[in-house]
Amino acid sequence: MRNLRIVLAVVAVAVVAIAGLAVVRLVGGDSVNTAGADQAGPTQSVRPPRNQVERLNQRYELVEQPGPERTEVRRRSDQAVVATLTVGARTVVVEGPRREFTEPSTTPAVIESTSWVRIAPRPWQAQLGLDESFARWLLDQIEAKKPPIDVLGAALQYLADVPDGVNDEGVRYIGDAGFGYVHSADERDGADFYDYLEVPWKFSDTGRVKPSKRWDRDLDCSGYVRLVYGYRFGVPLLNGPVTTTVNGLPRTASNMAAYARSVLVAAGRTPSRPPANLSALQPGDLVFFALHDDPNLITHSGIYLGKDRDGGMRFVSSRGTADGPTFGDVKGDGVVDSGYFGERLRRVIRL
């Protein structure tokens, strides 16, 4: 009897040991299999993306922000904002290598910037989300190892003493630009981009036009904006006056401010007053001023560059006082938040 009890005890221990081993293997097997299927384990590698939308969403998070309505693209690893897209606008600001903008002949100001301004293939619409082509474009901008020239870099290629540059068509499209402006009943208002380029141009609304020899290598303020955003970066250009919203840049500063399809960033409470709050401005925004006798009439346009080392909000425009494009302080500080231009600022838009 004693021997029988010993045998039964040994058998029971063996059964429990075998059962325990089976349970461990089953749970271990389930854990490995489940993690392999879900990719949920913290040490598991992420499944390769099937397309560019999935690739972007794996690396970045899209966060909606108000005022104006926009989407911040944040890197998932550290939540750093790497791009900002504004709903209804093609302008996208991408974080890139740090640059310094200087113009020693007109100002001691130095602008240090990591903002690179790009023009998206279409206006951003957050509710529609990302499609494959837009995701590919955005990833290319964010992850470029050697960023190509952007709006801000191109805008500064027309300051004093910048050497000439010729494109593949043999057109001298870069270099020191003068200022060309005449306000009279029998002449065009001033030098447009094609006058500076010294080439004829065919507009969709008025047809073919010829450059003026009087204004070769010259730009008025709106011609300068059109050269940068239109000729250099493909925003559509119109030549005649407009009275309704258009997809592109009209000829004059007043028409641009009123009718270019864009997002309103800042404006005064009345047409004769400057905006009270400029906190929403970002590099690349278009700024508009009333510089003549009528405080309601917009007569000047420029491109916002960003803050200088002293906190001044610098813009670049083509001005008669400097005989061409400048962000300097000739007869008025080249900032939008104080002084001569700050008092006359009327409207800020984002293309």
Strands 263-267 and 324-326: unpaired
Q: Tokens at residue 24, please?
A: 């461990």
User: Distance between CA atoms of 282 and 342, rounded to whole angstroms?
Assistant: 16
**Total-model pTM:** 0.85
What is the band of 6 on the pLDDT scale with cuts at 50, 70, 90?
very low
CA 225 to the chain's CA centroid: 15
Give residue 348's identity as a one-letter amino acid code: V
Q: Tokens at residue 241, please?
A: 């006056």
User: Distance between CA atoms of 337 and 291, rounded to whole angstroms?
Assistant: 15
CA 23 to the chain's CA centroid: 58
Mean pLDDT of the chain: 87
**String of DSSP letters for 303-329:** EEEEEBTTS-EEEEEEEGGGTEEE-S-
Percentage of residues in the chain with pLDDT exceeding 70?
A: 85
Q: What is the pLDDT of residue 188?
A: 55
Helix/strand/coil for 113: strand
331 pLDDT above the threshold of 90: no
Helix/strand/coil for 125: coil
Strand partners of residue 248? none
Radius of gyration of the chain (CA): 30
What is the band of 182 on the pLDDT scale with cuts at 50, 70, 90?
low
User: Distance between CA atoms of 196 and 174, rounded to whole angstroms?
Assistant: 9
Q: What is the pLDDT of residue 151?
A: 98
Residue 62 in contact with residue 70, Cβ under 8 Å? Answer: no
Q: What is the pLDDT of residue 47?
A: 76
User: Distance between CA atoms of 198 and 216, rounded to whole angstroms?
Assistant: 6
Q: Tokens at residue 176, please?
A: 């020191």
41 pLDDT above the threshold of 80: no
What is the band of 14 on the pLDDT scale with cuts at 50, 70, 90?
very low
More confident residue, 11 or 126: 126
Residues 6+ apart with CB under 8 A from 142: 60, 73, 82, 83, 94, 95
Other Cβ atoms less than 10 A from the Cβ of 96: the count is: 20
Give residue 212's identity as a one-letter amino acid code: S
pLDDT digits (tens, 9 = 90+) for 206-221: 999 999 988 989 999 9
